[in-house]
């Protein structure tokens, strides 16, 4: 049967106003349901008729999933909070700057106004073969079209590829890993809380998903502990265009210094693998060291150990090495004219 | 960065010192509707009982429909009709202006096909009560394709055993027209044949070392003695370079609405050229042009992809006939990527000799153009002509071949061929400047054209020449405004990982044609009703050109009413708005019509008050005896004209205007004083426009990311008609060129022959934040001596400069051996810097 | 519900991509069902085994107490293959039923081990063992007809004792050979699809349809093996078959069992001479 794209098929749209209602709707329609947050990932799939759920549960009316609350131990951010709100929130900006920076660099202003933190974290990969609806591993098939002798894989993975070489392109994920955030997941069995880095999975574990949500699960909130409040942060996103672009790679770090000595550090990178990578080896080697270029370089070199570049993405190896270095040393001021 | 405080930047400068209207900013009549959203583009229209249609696109890059069963789709409620290639009218011949029959190419592109030659080519269309139903119906169509061999990359096709994009071969072969028989109109050329061009393995032996193979080409020309030229050179460079395929990416896709009334078809669609779209639609529909009405008040961009709308516009027209209902075809972004045309990639190899003083001694230029599966675009031959003009080599050979592939059809895109030719030549100039230790402005200054500069091949023993050229002044003033020398002297050293580079580029393109008609009516109420046959493609030329009428007649602009965008409303024969010819051609036509009206006014005054017409002058809405005395208002003159009839009110149109204009004049006859005229002004040479472009970039050597810090385009376009619109064109088209440098591209999967960069976010057109905050432009405002108003077109020339100035600035920052193709992105920069040598695979297409 | 999963190829063709995974459960249940039915049959319906002809005591006396059945090499092969097979089955199917882990590397490594051991086995069995002992022969067919007649209550000749391998064992081996070769050959080609570092990666070695059918065949043979392995394990632990299992571990079986189940003419065992006594003189 012939294929047509860009015309949204019909579905039943359900718009609950509470999490409990949303969950019972998800259960009722468990076989054939799609959860809609900001819609920026979902509508692509729906409009292209690649995913044709019978029912879409739209969370945009669930007020309890929105907003940023200060808690005794940091912040709780509702999963449906927009990226704009996070980027502009005074407490986020002041104490958890790495998150506001990351949110601010997502896509474009229009997309940030509509896109949510939950959606940004749970979004699917942008591998253009997968997105074109080709029956690759991630789509349930038996091939990776990007990792072939002629595959076009400039934006694909250099680490932890397992059959599928797609990458996770969330900008906020590495920032939240650096902040040691916890993700609150509600399912029919109740609520569980996982570490940010454990929310994401690679193709070795499940080749069809980028996160651990099971059918019926909802990511309801992000808890940012106060542990890293006011720490030194670094966030950088490298992309082809200065707006409306996914990262070729991004890096987020949080450091606590004593003088120039690195007391505590967390670093995460995204765009290198199918999940955002927490760089424990780089952290370990930097911890207790002076914050110098040499420490940064050592950490950078460790970060790319085991990297396997594809035909067109070898640049990602020096890119990751340099970004990790900069996440420790920072970057010098822009060049200025003599006068 | 240094602040430019003098001279005034373009937007602040005053133009048109000797005019009242020309050279002045004003609010165009379409502006309010555009910014408030009231403007209606094709897909904003609705009609009673309107159906929608959707297209079934080919999934294969080359194949044949071997099985088609539409029964299940047609059985769906709400599905009204299906249109296939079998329902299309046969391709129609056309007539040239001289009356020669141009035979239709039976292998040319049609609106639908049973043998798709690229993935995404429309195969059939379904009309239904809504798009949702039409889409569901398409999914119910059982269709199978027999895949045929395909090729994406022209080099692959030229290899000894390379695949062909068409069963018959890979290039077009055009036989010359038969000799003219006495007493008959000239015979048109026969339809082109498909030939099969293969090169030898010997030709390909250096391809892996980054040297473009140069096998046999069907076309070549030489002027001067290139061997001697190379002998005289102290530096000879032999460089290969590849430019990208890029979509036109017009914001308005080529949607169309069509309906039939009393045997006439009415089509709403975006087009660059209102009047000349009618014959194109008529030819595609195999109908009489007088039965085709086009409505196109607003067009959301064309850039060459909608010169006469799109052939797919006949799909809703034919479905409307079949269903006896209006049919709307909305084209999605993905469909637009396939059918919306693109600039062809050029693969070039330039051998250029330089004397010690930087003067070019010889150019040996070789290009391969990837034209897609249908008609050959002219980019390859144009690239040679433009290079020969812009760098004035005393000896030059050009060789080129245009190869077909199974990629979406190419079309002219702003500065077609010129942009690619210049960009490749500019990278050679950049290298030469460095090797000869010359200033980059100086090496361009010594080579650039001046005045009436010869260029191109000899035709009948003669070369053509530019009508005028002042690019040296543009270079000098631009360098001054950009503070070129200061920037070079104070260029910051590398700070951290950031390095800066500055670049300059020459650029030029054709800027005008001649021979079209102007038409307006001075109404008895004194208002001037101007008929504009120009397309409203966003450049404002649809309105700007007619300022000439008001200027000549001395009428305030507020008293002019403009009619445009509907061919049922009596428009004059007008140039196509392509190749930046409009401003030149239609200011001339407007001037001709204005002179005609002036003459008629003077005659009416003489008839009324006595004396000879030349005793009267026209100014301030009046015609009156020179030096004061008797006179009448234009309103009164119009009333006189109606009384007089004949030529004065349009009952006797001039003989020399186009028959299309004559029909319009006849329809307007009796409404007032008709100003109508054909542009027959003298014109020596080819009207060419020029731009000198300057850019500064900052590159982060650790991430490969770079930003454009500063940008200036200084234009030599003759008289400035409308500064704000001119600035929009200079910077807008520069941005189009910048896109080619910084990221825009097509990417295909070579195994399946399918495009994978189908959406904006994948094909990466430049965004506003990729541009410097304070982009600058300026124009010389020196009139062209070969056109009465002195104005030339500007749409095309900035494109090459936009791309090349960025590439040159990049080369200045990180070395001119880092890249051998555009676009240049973090991947190229980082891998090459990491390896210490160029790491791009020079001739691999579509990465 | 289809038995195959289909997908639309980039060229819009419908191609199979693999079997429907519910077939895992079908095979599993079929294997267990066989087990239950067989157990019930043996417990309640099977008659006592009777064989034609008696073994001459003289022959019996000449035999060693322990009859060598499987050489060390043969046993080694068997258990390696068994380990590989279990690894393959678990790594293949656990993820499909929801137990998620990084299975691909283990799977193809086990596949290589299995392939190597099968190749060894083919060479070993062809040139060092009695190749034909595992394939059904004329006597097997005749005896199976006799058994069939007796099963349906008709009197007739008693079947003979088995050769080295009883017929059901031979048939089982035959099916395993089919399934095993199918998964092995398709599996080797499938290694071109993943990064192994051993074979050059070329996912485009075949067309979409060929690959699809290959995955289907691999899947079908694979799920078939679930049932077959269940049956195999079941027989291995059935009390009356334990001596055979024992022999697969220790290499020998007791003379009594040998004499009871096997026909010394069809499975000739060397007599116990001084030079042979005590050693496992496997064939």
Write down the domain spans for chain A.
Answer: 1-62, 66-122+168-338
Q: With beta carbons less than 8 A apart as the criterion, state whether B700 and B494 touch.
A: no
Q: With beta carbons less than 8 A apart as the criterion, state whether B401 and B436 touch.
A: no
pLDDT exceeds 70 at position B4: no
| Mean pLDDT of all residues belonging to chain A | 95
- Chains contacting B (3 or more CB pairs within 8 Å): A, C
What is the pLDDT confidence band of residue C274, given thresholds at 50, 70 and 90?
very low
> C20: distance to nearest CA of chain B, Å?
24
Hey, what are C39's tokens? 């157990």
> A137: distance to nearest CA of chain C, Å?
10
The answer to whether C11 contacts B59, with C-beta atoms less than 8 Å apart, is yes
> Which of A49, A312, A319 shows the shortest C-beta gap to B847?
A312
pLDDT exceeds 90 at position B691: yes
CA atoms within 13 A on the CB side of B210: 15
> C11: distance to nearest CA of chain B, Å?
5
pLDDT exceeds 70 at position C277: no
Q: What is the CA angle C118-C119-C124, rounded to 5?
A: 95
What is the pLDDT confidence band of residue B283, given thresholds at 50, 70 and 90?
very high
- Determine contact: A215 vs chain C, CB below 8 A: no
| Mean pLDDT of all residues belonging to chain C | 85
> B407: distance to nearest CA of chain A, Å?
16
Phi, psi (degrees; rounded to nearest 5) at A114: -100, -35
Residues of A in contact with B768 (CB under 8 A): 243
Mean pLDDT of B445-466: 96
Residues of B in contact with C13 (CB under 8 A): 144
Q: With beta carbons less than 8 A apart as the criterion, state whether B608 and B624 touch.
A: no
CA distances from B350 to B211, B430, B845, C76 (A): 10, 13, 19, 69
DSSP secondary structure, B327-383, as one string: EEEPPPHHHHHHHS-EEPPEEEEEEEEE-TTS-EEEEEEEEEEE--SSS--SHHHHH
> C100: distance to nearest CA of chain A, Å?
5
Residues of C in contact with B60 (CB under 8 A): 11-12
- Chains contacting A (3 or more CB pairs within 8 Å): B, C
pLDDT at B9 (0 to 100): 52
What are the tens digits of pLDDT across the range A20-65?
Answer: 999 999 999 998 999 999 999 999 999 999 999 999 999 999 999 9
pLDDT at A334 (0 to 100): 47
Q: Which of B252-256, B789-793, C66-70 has the lowest mean pLDDT?
A: C66-70
pLDDT at C281 (0 to 100): 37
Q: With beta carbons less than 8 A apart as the criterion, state whether B539 and B234 touch.
A: no
Kindly identify which residue of chain A lies nearest to residue C15, measuring between CA atoms: A135
Hey, what are B493's tokens? 């050293």
The answer to whether B751 contacts C204, with C-beta atoms less than 8 Å apart, is yes
pLDDT at B96 (0 to 100): 74
The answer to whether B60 contacts C204, with C-beta atoms less than 8 Å apart, is no
Q: Name which residue leads in pLDDT, A333 or A159.
A: A159
Kindly identify which residue of chain A lies nearest to residue C13, measuring between CA atoms: A1
> Which of C17, C194, C202 shows the shortest C-beta gap to A149?
C202
Hey, what are B836's tokens? 């210490």
- Determine contact: A109 vs chain C, CB below 8 A: no
Q: Can you tell me the ipTM of this complex?
A: 0.95
The β-bridge partners of B241 are B348
> A257: distance to nearest CA of chain B, Å?
22
pLDDT exceeds 90 at position A302: yes
- Determine contact: B460 vs chain C, CB below 8 A: no
DSSP secondary structure, B274-300, as one string: HHHHHHHHHHHHT--GGGEEEE-S--S
Mean pLDDT of B241-248: 96
Domain map (residue ranges) of chain C: 4-41+62-261
Considering the four listed CATH numbers 1.10.10.10, 3.30.465.10, 3.40.640.10, 3.40.50.300, the one that applies to the domain covering A66-122+168-338 is 3.30.465.10
pLDDT exceeds 80 at position B57: yes
Residues belonging to chain C with any Cβ–Cβ distance to chain B shorter than 8 Å:
10-13, 204
Phi, psi (degrees; rounded to nearest 5) at B530: -95, 130
The answer to whether C10 contacts B144, with C-beta atoms less than 8 Å apart, is no
pLDDT at B222 (0 to 100): 98
> C108: distance to nearest CA of chain B, Å?
26
> A310: distance to nearest CA of chain C, Å?
12
What are the tens digits of pLDDT across the range C140-185?
Answer: 888 888 877 877 777 777 777 777 788 888 888 999 999 999 999 9
Q: With beta carbons less than 8 A apart as the criterion, state whether B251 and B298 touch.
A: no
Mean pLDDT of A170-190: 96
Residue C219, helix vs strand vs coil: helix
Q: With beta carbons less than 8 A apart as the criterion, state whether B690 and B471 touch.
A: yes
Residues of A in contact with B136 (CB under 8 A): 9
The answer to whether C202 contacts A143, with C-beta atoms less than 8 Å apart, is no
CA distance B58 to C256: 74
Mean pLDDT of B298-322: 96
Kindly identify which residue of chain B lies nearest to residue A133, measuring between CA atoms: B756
Mean pLDDT of A240-251: 97
> Which of C9, C104, C193 shows the shortest C-beta gap to A162?
C104
What is the pLDDT confidence band of residue B195, given thresholds at 50, 70 and 90?
very high
Mean pLDDT of B217-240: 97
CA distance B755 to B753: 7
Residues of C in contact with A147 (CB under 8 A): 195, 201, 203
Residue carrying structure tokens 């020596």: B684
What is the pLDDT confidence band of residue B318, given thresholds at 50, 70 and 90?
very high
Mean pLDDT of B305-324: 97
Residue C217, helix vs strand vs coil: helix
> Which of B140, B333, B490 shows the shortest C-beta gap to A1?
B140
Residue B698, helix vs strand vs coil: strand
The answer to whether B59 contacts C204, with C-beta atoms less than 8 Å apart, is no
- Count of C-beta atoms within a 10 Å radius of residue C41: 10
Q: Which of B56, B57, B58, B59 to mutate to test the interface with C (most CBs of C within 10 A)?
A: B59
pLDDT at B101 (0 to 100): 83
The answer to whether A163 contacts C194, with C-beta atoms less than 8 Å apart, is yes
What is the pLDDT confidence band of residue A100, given thresholds at 50, 70 and 90?
very high
- Determine contact: B391 vs chain C, CB below 8 A: no
Residue B484, helix vs strand vs coil: helix
Phi, psi (degrees; rounded to nearest 5) at B246: -140, 140
Q: Name which residue leads in pLDDT, B185 or B350.
A: B350
Domain C4-41+62-261 adopts which CATH fold?
Answer: Fumarate Reductase Cytochrome B subunit (1.20.950)
pLDDT at C156 (0 to 100): 74
Mean pLDDT of B416-435: 98
The answer to whether C10 contacts B147, with C-beta atoms less than 8 Å apart, is no
Kindly identify which residue of chain C lies nearest to residue B755, measuring between CA atoms: C10
Residues of B in contact with A126 (CB under 8 A): 761
Residues 144-173 (B) with a CB less than 8 A from some CB of C:
144-145, 147
pLDDT exceeds 50 at position B685: yes
- Determine contact: B783 vs chain C, CB below 8 A: no
CA distance A253 to A268: 6
pLDDT exceeds 70 at position A332: no
Domain A1-62 adopts which CATH fold?
Answer: 3.30.43
pLDDT at B762 (0 to 100): 95
> A26: distance to nearest CA of chain C, Å?
20
Residues of B in contact with A330 (CB under 8 A): none
What is the pLDDT confidence band of residue A338, given thresholds at 50, 70 and 90?
very low
User: What does pTM read for this prediction?
Assistant: 0.94
pLDDT at B6 (0 to 100): 43
- DSSP classification of residue A63: G
> Which of A135, A142, A148 shows the shortest C-beta gap to C204?
A148
CA distances from A49 to A42, A265, B78, B124, B133 (A): 11, 44, 20, 19, 13
pLDDT at B10 (0 to 100): 52
- Could you tell me how many residues make up chain A? 339
| Mean pLDDT of all residues belonging to chain B | 95
- Chains contacting C (3 or more CB pairs within 8 Å): A, B
Residues of A in contact with C92 (CB under 8 A): none
Q: Name which residue leads in pLDDT, C156 or B304.
A: B304
- Determine contact: A223 vs chain B, CB below 8 A: no
Residues 20-79 (A) with a CB less than 8 A from some CB of B:
49
Residues belonging to chain C with any Cβ–Cβ distance to chain A shorter than 8 Å:
5, 7-10, 12, 14-15, 17-18, 100-102, 104, 193-195, 201-204, 211-212, 215
């Amino acid at each position: 049967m012939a294929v047509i794209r860009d015309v949204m098929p019909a579905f039943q749209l359900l718009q609950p106003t509470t999490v409990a209602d949303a969950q019972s709707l998800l259960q009722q329609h468990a076989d054939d349901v799609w959860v809609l947050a900001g819609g920026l990932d979902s509508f692509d799939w729906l409009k292209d008729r690649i995913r044709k759920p019978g029912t879409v549960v739209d969370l945009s009316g669930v007020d309890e999933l929105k907003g940023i609350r200060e808690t005794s131990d940091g912040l709780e951010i509702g999963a449906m909070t927009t990226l704009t709100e996070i980027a502009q929130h005074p407490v986020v900006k002041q104490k958890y700057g790495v998150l506001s920076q990351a949110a601010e660099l997502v896509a474009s202003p229009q997309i940030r106004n509509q896109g949510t933190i939950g959606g940004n974290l749970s979004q699917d990969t942008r591998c253009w073969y997968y997105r074109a609806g080709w029956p690759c591993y991630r789509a349930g098939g038996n091939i990776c079209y990007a990792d072939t002798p002629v595959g076009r894989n400039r934006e694909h993975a250099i680490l932890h590829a397992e059959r599928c070489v797609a990458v996770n392109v969330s900008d906020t994920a590495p920032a939240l890993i650096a902040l040691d955030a916890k993700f609150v997941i509600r399912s029919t069995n109740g609520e569980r809380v996982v570490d940010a880095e454990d929310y994401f999975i690679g193709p070795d574990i499940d080749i069809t998903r980028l996160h651990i949500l099971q059918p019926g699960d909802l990511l309801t909130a992000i808890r940012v502990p106060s542990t890293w409040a006011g720490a030194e942060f670094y966030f950088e996103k490298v992309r082809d265009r200065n707006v409306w672009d996914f990262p070729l790679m991004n890096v987020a770090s949080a450091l606590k210094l004593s003088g120039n000595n690195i007391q505590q550090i967390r670093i995460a990178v995204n765009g290198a693998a199918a999940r955002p990578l927490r760089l424990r080896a780089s952290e370990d080697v930097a911890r207790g060291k002076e914050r110098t270029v040499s420490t940064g370089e050592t950490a950078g070199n460790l970060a790319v150990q085991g990297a396997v570049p594809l035909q067109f993405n070898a640049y990602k190896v020096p890119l990751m090495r340099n970004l990790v270095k900069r996440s420790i040393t920072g970057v010098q001021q822009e060049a200025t004219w003599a006068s | 960065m240094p602040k430019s405080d003098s001279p005034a930047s373009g937007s602040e400068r005053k133009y048109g010192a000797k005019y009242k209207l020309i050279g002045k900013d004003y609010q165009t009549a379409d502006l309010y509707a555009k910014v408030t959203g009231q403007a209606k583009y094709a897909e904003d229209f609705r009609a009673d009982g309107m159906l929608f249609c959707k297209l079934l696109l080919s999934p294969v890059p080359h194949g044949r429909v071997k099985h088609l069963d539409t029964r299940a789709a047609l059985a769906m409620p709400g599905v009204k009709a299906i249109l296939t290639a079998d329902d299309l009218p046969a391709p129609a011949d056309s007539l040239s202006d001289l009356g020669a029959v141009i035979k239709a190419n039976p292998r040319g592109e049609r609106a639908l096909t049973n043998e798709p030659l690229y993935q995404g080519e429309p195969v059939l269309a379904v009309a239904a009560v809504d798009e949702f139903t039409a889409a569901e119906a398409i999914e119910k169509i059982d269709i199978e394709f027999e895949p045929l061999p395909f090729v994406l990359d022209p080099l692959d096709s030229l290899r000894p055993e390379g695949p062909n994009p068409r069963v018959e071969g890979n290039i077009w072969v055009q036989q010359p027209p038969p000799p003219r028989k006495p007493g008959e109109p000239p015979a048109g050329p026969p339809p082109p044949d498909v030939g099969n061009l293969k090169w030898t393995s010997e030709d390909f032996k250096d391809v892996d070392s980054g040297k473009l193979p140069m096998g046999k080409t069907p076309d070549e020309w030489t002027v001067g003695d290139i061997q001697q030229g190379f002998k005289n050179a102290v530096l000879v460079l032999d460089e290969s370079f590849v430019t990208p395929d890029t979509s036109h990416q017009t914001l308005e896709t080529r949607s169309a609405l069509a309906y039939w009334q009393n045997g006439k078809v009415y089509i709403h669609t975006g087009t660059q050229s209102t009047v000349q779209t009618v014959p194109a639609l008529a030819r595609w529909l195999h109908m009489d042009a007088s039965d085709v009405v086009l409505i196109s008040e607003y067009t959301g961009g064309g850039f060459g992809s909608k010169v006469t709308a799109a052939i797919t516009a006949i799909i809703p027209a034919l479905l409307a006939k079949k269903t006896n209902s209006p049919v709307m075809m909305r084209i999605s972004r993905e469909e637009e990527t396939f059918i919306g045309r693109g600039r062809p990639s050029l693969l070039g190899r330039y051998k250029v000799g330089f004397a010690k003083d930087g003067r070019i001694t010889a150019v040996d230029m070789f290009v391969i153009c990837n034209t897609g599966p249908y008609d050959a675009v002219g980019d390859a031959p144009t690239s040679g002509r433009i290079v020969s003009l812009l760098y004035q080599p005393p000896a030059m050979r050009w060789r080129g071949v245009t190869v077909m592939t199974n990629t979406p059809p190419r079309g002219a895109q702003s500065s077609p061929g010129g942009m690619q030719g210049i960009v490749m030549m500019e990278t050679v100039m950049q290298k030469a400047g460095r090797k000869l230790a010359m200033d980059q402005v100086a090496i361009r200054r010594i080579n650039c054209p001046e005045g009436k500069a010869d260029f191109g091949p000899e035709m009948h023993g003669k070369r053509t020449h530019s009508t005028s050229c002042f690019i040296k002044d543009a270079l000098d003033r631009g360098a001054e405004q950009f503070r070129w020398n200061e920037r070079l002297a104070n260029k910051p050293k590398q700070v951290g990982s950031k390095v800066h580079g500055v670049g300059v580029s020459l650029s030029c393109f054709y800027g005008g044609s001649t021979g079209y008609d102007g038409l307006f009516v001075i109404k008895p109420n004194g208002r001037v009703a101007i008929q504009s046959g120009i397309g409203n493609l966003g450049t404002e030329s649809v309105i700007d050109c007619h300022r000439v009428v008001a200027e000549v007649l001395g009428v305030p602009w507020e008293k002019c009413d403009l009619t445009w965008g509907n061919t049922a409303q009596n428009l004059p024969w007008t140039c196509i708005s392509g190749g930046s010819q409009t401003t030149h051609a239609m200011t001339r036509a407007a001037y001709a019509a204005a002179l005609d009206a002036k003459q008629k006014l003077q005659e009416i005054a003489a008839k009324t008050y006595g004396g000879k017409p030349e005793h009267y002058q026209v100014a301030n809405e009046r015609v009156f005896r020179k030096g004061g005395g008797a006179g009448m208002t234009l309103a009164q003159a119009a009333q006189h004209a109606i009384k007089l009839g004949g030529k004065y009110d349009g009952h006797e149109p001039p003989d020399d205007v186009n028959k299309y204009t004559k029909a319009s004049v006849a329809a307007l006859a009796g409404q007032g004083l008709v100003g109508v005229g054909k542009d027959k002004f003298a014109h020596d040479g080819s009207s060419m426009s020029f731009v000198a472009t300057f850019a500064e970039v900052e590159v982060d050597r650790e991430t490969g990311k770079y930003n454009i810090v500063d940008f200036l385009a200084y234009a030599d376009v003759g008289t400035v008609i409308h500064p704000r619109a001119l600035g929009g064109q200079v910077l807008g088209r520069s941005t189009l060129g910048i896109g080619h440098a910084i990221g825009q591209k097509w990417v295909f999967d070579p195994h399946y022959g399918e495009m994978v960069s189908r959406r904006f976010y994948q094909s990466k057109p430049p965004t506003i934040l990729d541009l410097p905050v304070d982009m600058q432009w300026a124009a010389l405002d020196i009139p062209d001596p070969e056109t009465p108003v002195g104005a030339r077109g500007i749409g095309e020339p900035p494109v090459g400069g936009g791309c090349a100035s960025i590439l040159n600035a990049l080369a200045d920052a990180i070395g001119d051996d880092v890249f051998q193709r555009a676009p240049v992105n973090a991947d190229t920069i980082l891998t090459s810097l990491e390896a210490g040598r160029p790491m791009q695979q020079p001739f691999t297409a579509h990465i | 519900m289809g038995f195959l999963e289909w997908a639309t190829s980039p060229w819009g063709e419908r191609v199979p991509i693999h079997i429907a995974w519910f077939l895992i459960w079908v095979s599993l249940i079929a294997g267990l069902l066989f087990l239950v039915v067989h157990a019930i049959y043996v417990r309640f319906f099977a008659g006592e085994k009777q064989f034609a002809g008696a073994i001459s005591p003289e022959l019996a006396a000449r035999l060693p107490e322990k009859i060598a059945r499987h050489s060390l090499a043969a046993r080694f092969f068997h258990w390696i293959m068994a380990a590989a097979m279990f690894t393959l089955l678990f790594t293949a199917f656990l993820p499909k039923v929801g137990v998620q882990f990084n299975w691909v590397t283990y799977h193809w490594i086990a596949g290589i081990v299995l392939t190597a051991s099968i190749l060894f086995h083919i060479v070993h069995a062809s040139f060092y063992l009695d190749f034909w002992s595992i394939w059904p022969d004329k006597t097997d067919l005749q005896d199976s007809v006799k058994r069939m007649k007796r099963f349906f209550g008709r009197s007739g000749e008693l079947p003979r004792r088995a050769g080295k391998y009883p017929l059901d064992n031979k048939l089982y081996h035959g099916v395993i050979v089919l399934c095993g070769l199918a998964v092995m050959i398709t599996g080797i080609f499938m290694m071109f699809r993943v990064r192994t570092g051993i074979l050059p990666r070329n996912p485009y070695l075949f067309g979409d349809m060929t690959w699809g059918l290959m995955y289907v065949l691999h899947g079908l043979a694979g799920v078939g093996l679930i049932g077959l392995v269940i049956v195999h394990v079941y027989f291995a632990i059935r009390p009356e078959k334990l001596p055979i299992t024992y022999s697969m571990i220790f290499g020998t079986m007791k003379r009594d069992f040998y004499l009871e189940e096997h026909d010394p003419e069809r499975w000739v065992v060397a007599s116990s001479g001084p030079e042979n006594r005590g050693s496992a003189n496997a064939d």
